[in-house]
């Protein structure tokens, strides 16, 4: 799997926005590979730069106050510096995006069928009738009942889960090679979430499309991802295969994330552990490791930025397991277990 050439190669991607409050460094030195048919989960808190990373790949963050550096190669095209016309032909056809809130992301005054047809016709010479038939097929494929009638409905006439399916049908309409799903289940209730994830799993089996799943929901990640990139304050702080990151987490921030989920197989804690403090302001990030002000394990070395590199033994995963933490692997093993068998960040006395 590793020797295949990745379909998407992101190297040292950085995105910053000039604002009235100063320069906001939303994304910083982000690198990752994506292979065909693979699911990469990008996790982190709100404001960790995961959505900006995803949208930058499609040029959706190109505004007058933005600055980019780094590269993102997709099948011979460098996306960060691509012309608008090059990007236009990739958007929707090669790389398609599924947005979080389908109610807001679909045009409220256009029939859903028309919105799908519009995308197909933006990339292919195809008659209205044929494009419409394909829209019906797509809606059927994502599990919308009576698709032939519903193709003429407006977004507000669908339930939340059905709307998200419409969004997925839209993204699939040109058989893209890469799907980027930005918090696709966040706006849905849990039962609908499960249905949508089931849909993603089926799609994985049916198509060879690679999926970048942006989420803060580790339950979703555990369900579907092959690899995980944990982001904090614009940087990837830990990267590896799902099993490596979940069973051998090497960055304190990952410990904190894992420690803050409720688990059905453990006794219920009095209070769910949280990570003390708030994420740093992206216009004024702490020197060195960005987690330092919130990390109970910080020590002298943390004033210097650790590189994202292998810092422990190789795990069962097929990709290298890398992280950005100066602690030795042995210290990490000792520190991350708050009580035997239970991972967490531990408490930090905030001054």
Partner 1 sequence: MGRFIIRRVIGMIAVLFAISVLVFAIFNVIPNSDPALRLAGRNQTPEQIAAIRAQWGFDQPLYVQYAKTMEKVFSGSLVSYSTQTNVQQEIINGIPATFSLAVGAALLWMTVAVVVGLFTAVRAGQFSDRFLTVLALIGISMPVFWIGALMAYYLGFKWHIFPNGGYVPFTKSPVQWFYHLVLPWTALSLLFIGVYSRLLRSNVLDTINDDYVRTARAKGLSERNVLIRHVLRNSLIPIITLWGLDFAAVIGGGAILTETVFDLQGVGQYAAESVAQLDIPPVLAIVMFGAFFVVFMNTVVDIVYAALDPRIRLS
Q: Are 212 and 180 in contact (CB under 8 A)?
A: yes
202-261 residues in contact with partner 1 (CB under 8 A) are none
Pick from 84, 265, 309, 349: which binds partner 1 (CB under 8 A)? 84
148-167 residues in contact with partner 1 (CB under 8 A) are 154, 156
Residue 147 burial (CB count, 10 A): 18
Compute the distance between CA of residue 340 and CA of residue 187 in angstroms, rounded to an integer.
Answer: 35
CB of 165 to partner 1, least distance (A): 15
Stretch that binds partner 1, among 104-112, 130-138, 229-237, 243-251 (CB under 8 A): 104-112
Contact between 123 and partner 1 (CB under 8 A)? yes
Contact between 90 and partner 1 (CB under 8 A)? yes
Contact between 108 and partner 1 (CB under 8 A)? yes
User: Rounded to the nearest 5°, which phi and psi values hold at 195?
Assistant: -65, -45
CB of 103 to partner 1, least distance (A): 9
**DSSP assignment of 16-80, as one string?**
EEEETTEEEEEEEEEEEEE-TT-EEEEE--TTSSHHHHHHHHTTTT--TTEEEEEEEEETTEESS
Helix (H) or strand (E) holding 338: strand 337-339
Contact between 96 and partner 1 (CB under 8 A)? yes
272-331 residues in contact with partner 1 (CB under 8 A) are none
Give the per-residue contact string, 166-195, with partner 1 (x = CB under 8 A; - = no). ----x-------------------------
Residue 259 bridge partners (DSSP): none
Q: Are 315 and 240 in contact (CB under 8 A)?
A: yes
User: Rounded to the nearest 5°, which phi and psi values hold at 118?
Assistant: -60, -40
Place of tokens 């702080």: 237
Stretch that binds partner 1, among 91-99, 136-144, 205-213, 228-236 (CB under 8 A): 91-99
CB of 207 to partner 1, least distance (A): 19
Q: Under the rule (CB under 8 A), what is the footprint of partner 1? A: 55, 58, 60, 84, 88-93, 96-97, 99, 101, 104-110, 118-119, 122-123, 154, 156, 170
């Amino acid at each position: 799997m590793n020797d295949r050439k990745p379909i998407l190669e992101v190297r040292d991607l950085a995105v910053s926005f000039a604002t009235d409050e100063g320069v906001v460094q939303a994304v910083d030195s982000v690198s990752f590979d994506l292979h065909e048919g693979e699911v990469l989960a990008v996790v982190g808190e709100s404001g960790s730069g995961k959505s900006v990373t995803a949208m930058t790949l499609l040029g959706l963050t190109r505004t007058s106050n933005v600055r980019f550096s780094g590269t993102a190669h997709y099948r011979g095209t460098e996306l960060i510096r691509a012309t608008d016309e090059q990007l236009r032909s990739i958007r929707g056809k090669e790389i398609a995006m599924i947005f979080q809130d389908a109610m807001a992301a679909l045009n409220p005054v256009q029939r859903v069928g028309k919105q799908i047809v519009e995308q197909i016709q933006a990339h292919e010479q195809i008659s209205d009738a044929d494009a419409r038939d394909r829209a019906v097929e797509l809606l059927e494929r994502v599990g919308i009942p009576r698709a032939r009638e519903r193709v003429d409905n407006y977004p507000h006439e669908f339930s939340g889960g059905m709307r998200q399916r419409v969004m997925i049908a839209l993204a699939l309409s040109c058989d893209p090679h890469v799907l980027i799903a930005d918090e696709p289940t966040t706006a849905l209730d849990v039962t609908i979430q499960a249905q949508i994830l089931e849909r993603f799993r089926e799609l994985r089996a049916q198509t060879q499309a690679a999926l970048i799943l942006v989420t803060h929901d580790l339950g979703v990640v555990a369900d579907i991802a092959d690899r995980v990139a944990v982001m904090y304050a614009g940087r990837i702080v830990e990267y590896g295969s799902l099993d490596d990151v979940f069973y051998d987490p090497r960055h304190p921030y990952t410990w904190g994330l894992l420690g803050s989920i409720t688990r059905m197989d453990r006794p219920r804690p009095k209070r769910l552990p949280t990570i003390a403090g708030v994420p740093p302001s992206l216009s004024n990030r702490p020197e060195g490791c960005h987690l330092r002000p919130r990390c109970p394990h910080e020590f002298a070395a943390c004033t210097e930025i650790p590189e994202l590199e292998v810092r422990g033994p190789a795990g069962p995963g097929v990709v290298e397991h890398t992280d950005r933490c100066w602690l030795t692997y042995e210290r990490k093993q000792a520190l991350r277990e708050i009580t035997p068998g239970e991972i967490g960040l531990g408490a930090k006395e905030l001054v």
